[in-house]
């Protein structure tokens, strides 16, 4: 019985890490700054976890120098 508790904890930990990937991606991105970045993070948190896909597709592309 204790073994299933450890497995459940491991599954929850992995799911939590997967859920954080989009947030970390937005935070570390240089495509947007300031209020725009905050808006994308709030969209991911409150609208949909899948909003990060729209972020990757629709965020302004910054030209490299």
**DSSP labels, the chain:** -HHHHHHHHHHHHHHHHHHHHHHHHHHH-SS--HHHHHHHHHIIIII-TTHHHHHHHHSPPPPP-
**Has residue 40 been placed in a domain?**
yes
Read off the pTM: 0.59
Average pLDDT over residues 38-55: 78
- Residue 37: inside a domain: yes
| Displacement of CA 25 from its chain's centroid (Å) | 6
Question: Residue for token digits 């030209």?
Answer: 63
- pLDDT (tens digit per residue) in 23-42: 888 899 888 888 889 988 88
Neighbours of 32 (CB within 10 A): 17
With respect to residue 65, please indicate whether it lies within any of the assigned structural domains: no
In a domain, 11, yes or no: yes
Domain that holds residue 52: 2-58
Domain total of the chain = 1
Give the sign of the dihedral formed by CA 18, CA 58, CA 28, CA 42.
Answer: negative
**63 in a domain, yes or no?**
no
């Amino acid at each position: 019985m204790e073994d299933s508790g450890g497995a459940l904890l491991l599954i929850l930990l992995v799911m939590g890490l997967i859920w954080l990937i989009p947030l970390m991606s937005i935070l570390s991105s240089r495509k947007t700054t300031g209020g725009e970045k905050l808006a994308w993070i709030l969209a991911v948190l409150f609208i949909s976890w899948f909003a990060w896909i729209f972020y990757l597709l629709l965020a302004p592309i910054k030209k490299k120098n």
